[in-house]
Structure 1
Amino acid sequence: MLILVTGATGKVGRHFIAGLLDDPRFSETRIRALCHNRSVDEGDRIEIARGSIADRDVVANALAGVTHVVHLATCKETPADVMDVAVKGLFWLLEAFRLSPTARQFILIGGDAAIGHFHYRNDAPLTEAARHRAYPGSYALSKVLEEVMLEQFGIQYGLNWCCLRAPWIMEKDDFRYTLSFGDDVFGGPDWKTLVPEADARRHARAGTVPLLRDADGQPLKRNFVHVDDLVSAILAAIDNPRARQQLFNVCMDRPVDYGEVARHLARTRHLASIDIASQYHSNWMDNAKARSLLGWQPRYDLEMLIDSAWRYERSENDPRTVWYPG
């Protein structure tokens, strides 16, 4: 088995490669990492291909002899690049895959941006049958186009594809910094812009956490997944006959409730919270299909997500780096 991994240097790519190499089920599997701006270390079972997936020749060469593709490469809110990477890149990958005599399975990591994230009201849990609804911006549109293109290639050419749709992916101390009122905030909202400047500085010093409220005034519920759980889902999908041409929600069993976060941090770390009003909508991604068909179960619940983020201590050679905006 030779797996081509795009986006190999990113958060999921690094964890996936390490997880697969450590899994005895894949002891004979080799990895080809397609790297563009950054690189991974080569090894006995890891080889490097270089270039952009927007380049057809790069993709064709990278797919030579490949049996599986795990497609992780993506762009965030970078309109100048997102269509080349997300749309053209995926098209060239699928074209080369369908023509390959060795190709067996194509796995795409999708995102909840394809179904609107927390931008739209939903009156029931979001299953895999939820319709595509991109919110404003280039990233959400790209995630819709990826899922539709993958499905259509399956219809056109009978490709063995699987899409794992993930919400916001956490590792290390990520979750702690999603709640920061400082310049070190990870992702959005950018809390310091939602309160007076002096208040933001005071909250940052004190470690005050935002209690985000939805459009109905209730604590917002928002979906997350830890990278370790996403990697275990990818490994569960590889060569799984029940994954053929299937879309799976891969997320925590329950969404993160900002009210529960505030209460847990007040109880365990004596941190204060402050209400932040919003026009966002609570939602609940249903992962029952992945649990049923893949036999997959996330390890991380709310308390584990919070506590692991607060306990994590970064070493000097592991700086917090955000590689893309958004």
Structure 2
Amino acid sequence: MRLLVTGAAGKVGQVFIPAFLADPRFADWEIVALCHNRPVEQGERVAIVSGSLSDAATVAEAMAGVTHVLHLAAVKESPGLIFDVALKGLYLLLEAYRGSAASRQFILLSGDCVVGHIFQPYDAPITEASARKAYPGCYALTKVLEETMVEQFGVQYGVDWTTLRAPWIMEKDDFRFALDFGDGQFGGPPWTEIVDEAALARYRNGRYVPVLRDAGGNYLKRNFVHVDDLVSAILASIANPRAYGQLFNIAMDRPVDYGAVGRLLKAGADLEPIEIDTPFHSNWLDNSKARMVLGWAPEVGLEQLAERAFHYEREENDPRVVWYPG
């Protein structure tokens, strides 16, 4: 078997490839890594194809002999790139895939931007059957179109597809910097959009942790997943007939409650909770389907997420990389 991984050098790809190569279930599989801006290390079972997804010749080269595709490549709020990568690139991949006699499964990594994460309200847990309600911006729009394109290739041509929909993906010290009031803040929206200048200056000079409240005045509940748990879900999906033609929410069992974050970090890191009102909505991305159908379960909850992030120490050769603007 031969697995094509797009976006192989990105945040998820860098964790996925070593995990895949170490998994005895895939001991006789090979990987083709399609890389554009960043390379990955070539090895005995890893071949590299360099180029753009928008180039048909590059896609054809990468797809040669491929049985399974894991499409991780994405761009965020980059209007000049979205059509080439998210639409043309995916279309070229799907066309090459459906035209190949070797093809077995096409896996798409999507995101909870498709359902608006904290920007759109839902009055019940968000399941795979919930309406798609993207938040404003080109990235969320492209993910809606990607999910739809993959599904329709299944309808039109019988493609065996699987879509994994993940919320905010955490690794290393990401969660710590998601709560940072300084210039190192990871993700968004920027504090300058929801905190006045004088208060923000005071928070930056002290040991504080933001405790967000939602539009209803309750503590905000936002969905996260650790990259290790996402990778384990991908591994559980590959070559799994129960995953064919299915969309799965891949998230922590419970959304992160910012009230609980404040209490946890006050006790464990001596940080003072600062309550901040926001216009955002609390939502719950329900992972029940993935637990039942894939036999998958996340291992990282809030306490483990905080423990890992606040105790992570970087070496000199491990610079903090923001793979995309949150």
Please say whether Structure 1 and Structure 2 have the same fold, judged by a TM-score greater than 0.5.
Answer: yes
The correspondence of residues 262-281 of structure 1 with structure 2, limited to 5 A, is 262-281=262-281
Aligned counterpart, 1:28: 28
**How many corresponding residue pairs?**
326
**1:179-202 CA distances to partner (integer Å, 9 max, x unpaired)?**
111110001121245334343243
The correspondence of residues 104-183 of structure 1 with structure 2, limited to 5 A, is 104-183=104-183
In 1, Cα distance between the equivalents of 2:37 and 2:64?
A: 21
In 2, Cα distance between the equivalents of 1:183 and 1:281?
A: 25
Aligned counterpart, 1:60: 60
Calculate percent identity across the aligned residue pairs. Answer: 60
Question: What are structure 1's unaligned runs of at least 5 residues?
Answer: none
Q: Give the drift of 1:25.
A: 1.3
The correspondence of residues 259-298 of structure 1 with structure 2, limited to 5 A, is 259-298=259-298
Q: Give the drift of 1:28.
A: 1.2
Aligned counterpart, 1:72: 72
In 1, Cα distance between the equivalents of 2:177 and 2:191?
A: 11
In 1, Cα distance between the equivalents of 2:109 and 2:63?
A: 18
Aligned counterpart, 1:84: 84
Question: What are structure 2's unaligned runs of at least 5 residues?
Answer: none
State TM-score, norm by structure 1.
Answer: 0.98
Q: Is the 8 A contact 2:194 2:278 kept in 1?
A: no
**1:138-170 CA distances to partner (integer Å, 9 max, x unpaired)?**
000001000000000000000010000000000
Q: Give the drift of 1:276.
A: 1.1
Q: Is the 8 A contact 1:180 1:207 kept in 2?
A: no
In 2, Cα distance between the equivalents of 1:220 and 1:46?
A: 42
Q: Is the 8 A contact 2:67 2:104 kept in 1?
A: yes
Q: Is the 8 A contact 2:11 2:323 kept in 1?
A: no
Aligned counterpart, 2:46: 46
In 2, Cα distance between the equivalents of 1:124 and 1:193?
A: 28
State TM-score, norm by structure 2.
Answer: 0.98
State the one-letter code of the partner of 1:222: R
In 2, Cα distance between the equivalents of 1:192 and 1:114?
A: 25
Aligned counterpart, 1:310: 310
Aligned counterpart, 1:234: 234
RMSD of Structure 2 on Structure 1 (CA)? 1.1
In 2, Cα distance between the equivalents of 1:127 and 1:175?
A: 25
Matched, 1:255 2:251: no
